[in-house]
Amino acid sequence: MTVTETGESRGILIIEDDEQLQSALSKVLSQQGYPITLARDGYEALECVERNPPWLVLTDLNLPGKGGMEFLREVRAQGYDMPVVVMTAYGSVDTAVEALKHGATEFLQKPFPLDRLEHLVQQLKSESASPLDPWSPIGHERPTLEPREGFLTRDPKVLQTLKMLELVANSAATILIQGESGTGKEVLARHIHRISPRAQQPFVAINCAALPDGLLESELFGYEKGAFTGALARRCGKFELAHQGTLLLDEIGEMSLGLQAKLLRVLQEREVDRLGSRHPVQVDVRVIATTNRNLAHEVQSGRFREDVFYRLSVMPFTLPPLRERVEDIQLLAEEFTSRSSRRNRRAGGGITDEAMQYLKSRPWRGNVRELENVIERAVLLAGNGPLQLEHVRTEERALLQPNVEQPMGTIWEMERDLIMRTLERHDGNRTHAARTLGISIRTLRNKLREYRQLNGGMPLGI
């Protein structure tokens, strides 16, 4: 694995075992000024992503060990959102569909002209120019709110929590953050890391609910070469990658009892045993665990180990749901409106009083994440004007009350227009459009097929 430095912190990761092609791709892209990282297989590539996430990945599908498709599935399951272009000499329609289904951005069948690759990379680079990071750490969702100055709130209880965290952040104490899904637990964990003495060291996150036990164990603790079928090289686990930094165990309540026992030893001894290794590795890691469950109740019901619970809850905190933080609704809505307007190249006219009162009255079962999604779509519907009541209320009717009698034709037309405008803004790139709309690429394809059928099978102009 080699790295070509050109002064930028994030570059292009090329995953290719053919040394001649690897060299050619590296040469043509480095000449364009891009920093290049090279990996021979999916194992090396995942380590590169964890160490310094690239803004773009080019991967062959047919690789020794962990192949490109498997790498793609894992990197998407862990929540990384950078564009991934897959390359293969064994191309077919089925292969392309499979790669796109698992989150590939584009598909190139070998051999392809290098100028085509250059043009594609330039196009993806221009599309990724955004005030938000093009990736999010492990866990399928990106951070709900990551303001430059910290965790954004006006709620007295949360402000008191932040004051306490400022004192705790300087220690090595394990922290447990509980709260409903979408309240901003991961954002708070990142805030703790940012104000701690470990701020310049790695922040590594893993979603305990996103991986099966066997894979989660190897991801946490790592493994030695030959530890199991497919272990072709030694791989460090998340604890080692987070050495001297912070490890976020997201949704810790989903971890099995067997794995909890192995976690307990790490928390007690501060050392990990890689799978297949005879010698433990010392680690210096601040552990932050988050959960949307009541772990005390889980302990009583026998679904969570009591000793692990006490180890995790040295400093427990609870984030209240958004419906109990009414003062935060306006603050967050205004922040999300400002961000979305910049990201979507809208003038941004703010939010009318009527619309704001309506936002404050909603129960927000999905908490901050739901509010962010509603604002994102409302900004697209509002164009360059202020967010009106119909922009936020239509979204609620369309998503939350599909069986209520309403003028569905109007909503259908608004949905179609929103999808078509978003596709146009992304120059027809369906992956990026689906990401902006907050829907899957499959849903987007189905919608476009529906629009074409209603258009008599004629193209839609994109």
Q: Supply the CATH number for residue 270's domain.
A: 3.40.50.300
The least confident of 57-61, 212-216, 329-333, 441-445 is: 441-445
**Contact criterion met (CB below 8 Å) for 228 and 276:** yes
Q: Is residue 192 in some structural domain?
A: yes
Task: Determine the Cα–Cα distance for residues 92 and 204; give it in Å rounded to an integer.
Answer: 37
What's the Cα-to-Cα distance from 170 to each of 130, 188, 325, rounded to whole Å? 33, 15, 27
Q: Is residue 148 in some structural domain?
A: no
Q: Are residues 204 and 341 in the same domain?
A: no
Q: How confident is the model at residue 128 (pLDDT cuts 50, 70, 90)?
A: low
Q: Are residues 258 and 280 in the same domain?
A: yes
The string of DSSP letters for 389-423 reads HHHHHHHHHHHH-TTS---HHHHHHHHHHHHHHHH
Task: Determine the Cα–Cα distance for residues 327 and 157; give it in Å rounded to an integer.
Answer: 11
Kindly tell me if the per-residue pLDDT of 444 is higher than 70. Answer: yes
Q: What pLDDT score does 135 carry?
A: 34
H helices present in 42-113, as ranges: 42-51, 68-77, 93-101
Total number of domains in the chain: 3
Phi, psi (rounded to 5 degrees) for 35: -70, 135
Q: How confident is the model at residue 90 (pLDDT cuts 50, 70, 90)?
A: low
Q: How confident is the model at residue 96 (pLDDT cuts 50, 70, 90)?
A: low
Q: Is residue 146 in some structural domain?
A: no
Q: Is residue 151 in some structural domain?
A: no
Phi, psi (rounded to 5 degrees) for 88: -160, 145
Q: Are residues 225 and 314 in the same domain?
A: yes
Host domain of residue 207: 156-320
Phi, psi (rounded to 5 degrees) for 371: -60, -45
What's the Cα-to-Cα distance from 100 to each of 73, 112, 146, 428, rounded to whole Å? 10, 19, 29, 15
C-alpha triplet 179, 51, 110: angle, nearest 5° = 110
Q: Are residues 281 and 329 in the same domain?
A: no
Longest CA pairwise span in the chain (Å) = 68
Provide the token pair at 269. Answer: 């001894």
Pick the last residue of a domain from 299, 320, 341: 320
Task: Determine the Cα–Cα distance for residues 430 and 423; give it in Å rounded to an integer.
Answer: 7
**Contact criterion met (CB below 8 Å) for 47 and 68:** no
Q: Are residues 214 and 276 in the same domain?
A: yes
Task: Determine the Cα–Cα distance for residues 23 and 343; give it in Å rounded to an integer.
Answer: 36
Q: Are residues 180 and 283 in the same domain?
A: yes
Secondary-structure breakdown of the chain: helix, strand, coil percentages, each rounded to the nearest 5: 45, 15, 40
In the three-class reduction of DSSP (H, G, I as helix; E, B as strand; rest coil), residue 60 is classed as: strand
Q: How confident is the model at residue 306 (pLDDT cuts 50, 70, 90)?
A: very high
Q: Is residue 143 in some structural domain?
A: no
Q: What is the dihedral of CA 185, 190, 192, 198, to 10 degrees?
A: 150
Q: Are residues 307 and 345 in the same domain?
A: no
Q: Are residues 119 and 165 in the same domain?
A: no
The string of DSSP letters for 342-357 reads HHTT-----B-HHHHH
Q: Which residues does 105 contact at the CB level (< 8 Å), separation at least 6?
A: 83, 84, 85, 124, 429, 431, 432
The chain-wide mean pLDDT, for the chain, equals 80
The string of DSSP letters for 234-272 reads -EE-HHHHTTTSEEEEETGGGS-HHHHHHHHHHHHHSEE
Kindly tell me if the per-residue pLDDT of 6 is higher than 70. Answer: no
Pick the last residue of a domain from 128, 146, 177: 128
Q: How confident is the model at residue 455 (pLDDT cuts 50, 70, 90)?
A: low
Q: Is residue 138 in some structural domain?
A: no
**CATH number of the domain encompassing residue 358:** 1.10.8.60
**Contact criterion met (CB below 8 Å) for 89 and 63:** no
Q: Which residues does 409 contact at the CB level (< 8 Å), separation at least 6?
A: none
Q: Is residue 149 in some structural domain?
A: no
Q: Are residues 65 and 188 in the same domain?
A: no
Q: What pLDDT score does 250 carry?
A: 92
Residue recorded with tokens 């564009």: 83
113 sits in which H/E element: none
Q: Is residue 251 in some structural domain?
A: yes
The least confident of 129-138, 158-167, 265-274 is: 129-138
Task: Determine the Cα–Cα distance for residues 307 and 309; give it in Å rounded to an integer.
Answer: 5
Q: Are residues 189 and 167 in the same domain?
A: yes
Q: How confident is the model at residue 196 (pLDDT cuts 50, 70, 90)?
A: very high
Q: What pLDDT score does 405 carry?
A: 39
Q: Are residues 298 and 163 in the same domain?
A: yes
**Contact criterion met (CB below 8 Å) for 104 and 441:** no
206 beta partners? 249
Q: Which residues does 378 contact at the CB level (< 8 Å), separation at least 6?
A: 337, 355, 387, 391, 392, 395
**Tens digits of per-residue pLDDT, 133-160?**
333 333 333 333 333 346 889 998 898 8
Task: Determine the Cα–Cα distance for residues 83 and 430; give it in Å rounded to an integer.
Answer: 12
Task: Determine the Cα–Cα distance for residues 99 and 41; give it in Å rounded to an integer.
Answer: 17
Q: Are residues 365 and 280 in the same domain?
A: no
Pick the last residue of a domain from 287, 303, 320: 320
Greater pLDDT, 461 or 31: 31
Provide the token pair at 22. Answer: 């690897």
